Structure 1
Amino acid sequence: MTAAAAPSATAPQNYLGGIALRLTAMLSLSLMFVVVKLIDASGVHILESLFWRQALVIPIVFAWAVTHGGMASLGTQRIGAHARRAAMGLVGMACNFGGMIFLPMAEATSINLSVPIFAVLFAALLLREPTGLQRWSAVIVGFLGVLIVLDPGAGFAAGFGGHHGLGMLIALAGAIMTALITIAVRDLGRTENATTIVFWFSLLSMLPLGIALPFVITPHDSYQWLLLGALGLSGAVVQLSLTGALRLAPVAVVIPMDYSALLWSIACGWFFFGTFPAEATWIGAPLIVASGLFIAWREHRLHIERQKDITA
């Protein structure tokens, strides 16, 4: 396969487009995690879930590539970077699946919302992305909202200990890996398009998952196959949206949009599983949403000002 023509080292930026894609990814991610919990409840092993999640993404992304740029768009000259991203992606995805299986949706999502703290730090250190005081402040305010939602006074005594302890550790590991993945995807996005990144992640991850599959696969009924199909479809939407967002806008801009996942997880937890968050959620959630909206508004204004300076 010949390599596609690489985008310029500085990919075109569209902050509002990146924010919109990240918000789409968060809704799709919440729905995907509903499917993950339903699949686990039906008796399908997590490794098999990961296999079918990746296997079903490949034809979807391939069809998208063929109709939007042709086969050449899947070419790459950075196979090593894709392999590293695939390895991190598999570990992160397994941890995120495991955390969601062990914990209620709102709690697992709240832990995952520590990603911005790690991602902004990694972006500043590894990518040298400028992160001003206002953006740092907004991220911290959002994280304070997450702490309020978690209600540490009761959470550490109950939710963070006992049989939830393993789930908490797995979810935290998933948050850290997600932050590192964010940096890796942002770096790949300098030369690769979203479709290429998702395609190679899915394809390369099939090797270890394919080796593990014979040891965990079991016969499935139509309901389980329907769930596995939904997992693959939602996974494709999530991957394309996440990757596209990081290509269009800096890490510190799009990551705070992840706070919206808490609202979706609360709604999905109540609708699908009958779980309802504590009263503290109604105090913390507005802080989380406000921080994301403030960053979106501020970055939009700054982007307009930069364009004015360029054309002046």
Structure 2
Amino acid sequence: MRGWAGRRGIARASGVTNDRLLPAIGLRLLSVVLFACMNAGIKLAEARGAAFGELLFFRQAGAAVLVTAVIAAGPGLATIRTARIGAHISRAVVGVTSMALTFAALLALPLAEATTIAFTTPIFATVLGALVLGEPTGARRWSAVALGFVGVLIVVQPGGHAIPARGAAYGIAAALLTSVVFILLRQIGRTERAQTTVWWFSVLSLVPLGIGYAFSAQGHAPATWALLVGIGLFGGAAQLAMTASLRRGAVSLVVPFDYSALLWATAFGWWLFGSLPGSSTWIGAPVIVASGLYIVWREHVRRREETRAALPVE
């Protein structure tokens, strides 16, 4: 018993943290499913005549309602108080820009291709995790990052005609900014509840998006309104799950599980739009997935080595 307590104390003193890995992974996988449903809803709503500004506004309006209800029913609205409003504003600015680019990529590309390009996010997140958060990243993980970029090049095929260049540019820019959001969330999450962070993002972003909606609002059929509301609810629930996962696990650990999104994107693309990934996507996606899985494995090895190093010599 003394040995266990001693090891735990030494781990804390040395800065080694025991992130709750299984809950973090489970929450991340849940967010992937919910985001996949949201993405499919975005393309369906746009095909039914919804404008770009409407899609963005309902994504955040629905999320704001859902998150407010969850907080009110749980810890209470008093928990949304914050002393870090500047950090929340920065997160909202980057988040809205990233979201707009993500939506643009979804509308310009098939679901599977847009999702595969979004796999650039964990690669960027690993780089930023090392540079900004100081997370140890050795030569092997840098090699995995390089391999991931090779996979992205296979999918995008610069100068080729596999997918529209404009859509690919939107997707890569969105992935880069999304990785910045992950870093901001990791930092904000040290002092803020996940629900509080999502609430401030949803509410603050409604200011610019509300202005945009005022210029794009129009009437729709009931089915289209239902899709718009669903986009917001799925997006809000996914945001809660994603933010909570980042509070429980390192960026470089949980983010690679986003790769399971390709399964859902392929299924929804085939079922709803009759499209399947092109040959370059089938070749490049496994390369990117292999890169991410190796990054996860190296993170596990690093944590195990740190734990052993912190143990007292018997």
TM-score category, normalised to shorter length = 0.7 to 0.9
1:158 is matched with 161
1:306 shift after superposition:
5.5
1:235 counterpart letter in structure 2: G
**In structure 1, C-alpha distance between the alignment counterparts of 2:140 and 2:129, rounded to whole Å:** 16
Other-structure match for 1:31: 37
- Say if 1:263 and 1:285, in contact at 8 Å, map to a contact too: no
The C-alpha deviation readout for 1:262-284, integer Å capped at 9, x for no partner, is 23222221111111112344444
- Matched residue, 2:127: 121
Matched, 1:109 2:98: no
* Residue in structure 2 matched with residue 255 of structure 1 by the alignment: 255
Residue-by-residue CA offset, 1:197-216 (whole Å, 9 max, x unaligned): 10000000111112222211
Aligned twin of 2:11: none
Instruction: Tell me, in whole angstroms, the C-alpha distance in 1 between the residues paired with 2:120 and 2:172.
Output: 8
8 Å Cα contact 2:162/2:278 also seen in 1: no
Displacement after TM superposition at 1:142 (Å): 4.1
Q: 1:10 to 1:93 in 2, by over 3 A?
A: farther
**Structure 1 residue 110: deviation in Å?**
2.0
Q: Does 1:131 align with 2:131?
A: no
Match of 1:68 in 2: 74
Q: CA deviation at 1:217?
A: 0.1
Q: Distance in 2 between matches of 1:57 and 1:99?
A: 21
- Structure 2 counterpart of 1:4: none
Residue 137 of structure 1 and its aligned partner are, at CA, apart by 3.6
Distance 2:80 2:155 in 1: 42
Secondary structure, aligned partner of 1:158: coil
Question: 1:43 deviation in Å?
Answer: 1.0
Amino acid at match of 2:253: V
Q: Which moved more, 1:263-272 or 1:39-48?
A: 263-272
Counterpart-to-counterpart distance in 1, 2:181 and 2:35: 16
Comparing 176-185 and 263-272, the one that deviates more = 263-272
In 2, the alpha carbon distance for the partners of 1:217 and 1:11 equals 48
Separation in 1 of the partners of 2:17 and 2:69? 24
The CA distance in 1 between the partners of 2:29 and 2:150, in whole Å, is 20
Based on CA coordinates, which of the two structures has the bigger radius of gyration?
2
What's 2:4 paired with? Answer: none
Equivalents in 2 of 1:299, 1:103: separation in Å? 33
- Hey, what's the Cα distance between the residues in 1 that align with 2:18 and 2:211? 39
CA distance in 2, matches of 1:290, 1:168: 21
Matching of residue 229 in structure 1 with residue 229 in structure 2: yes
In 2, are the aligned partners of 1:16 and 1:300 still within 8 Å (CA)?
Answer: no
Query: Deviation per CA, 1:87-140, whole angstroms, max 9, x where unpaired?
Result: 111111000001110111122222221122322222222222222334334444
1:86 aligns with 2:87: no
Query: Which sits farther off after the overlay, 174-183 or 129-138?
Result: 129-138
Q: Percent identity?
A: 44
2:64–2:202 Cα contact (<8 Å) kept: yes
Structure 2 CA distance, aligned partners of 1:174 and 1:286? 21
2:128 maps to amino acid: F
State how many pairs are aligned: 298
Partner of 2:199: 199
Matches within 5 A, 1:171-182: 171-182=171-182
CA distance in structure 1 between the aligned counterparts of 2:119 and 2:294, rounded to whole angstroms: 17
Alignment map for 1:202-281 (pairs within 5 Å): 202-281=202-281
- The C-alpha deviation readout for 1:131-190, integer Å capped at 9, x for no partner, is 23343344444444444444x3xx632135xxx232222222211111111111111111
RMSD: 2.5
SS in 2 for 1:127: coil
2:173 & 2:149 partners in 1: Cα distance? 17
Structure 1 residue identity aligned to 2:224: Q
Name 1:95's counterpart in structure 2: 101
Q: How far apart are residue 47 of structure 1 and its match?
A: 1.0
The alignment's TM-score, normalised by the length of structure 2, stands at 0.85
Please report how far the alpha carbon of residue 285 of structure 1 lies from its aligned counterpart in structure 2 after TM superposition.
Answer: 3.9
What do residues 240-277 of structure 1 show as CA deviations (whole Å, max 9, x unaligned)?
12111111111111222222222322222111111111
Extract unaligned runs of 5+ from structure 2. 1-14
Aligned partner letter, 1:158: H
SS at match of 1:128: coil
The one-letter amino acid of 2:36's match is: S
Q: Which amino acid aligns with 1:13?
A: D
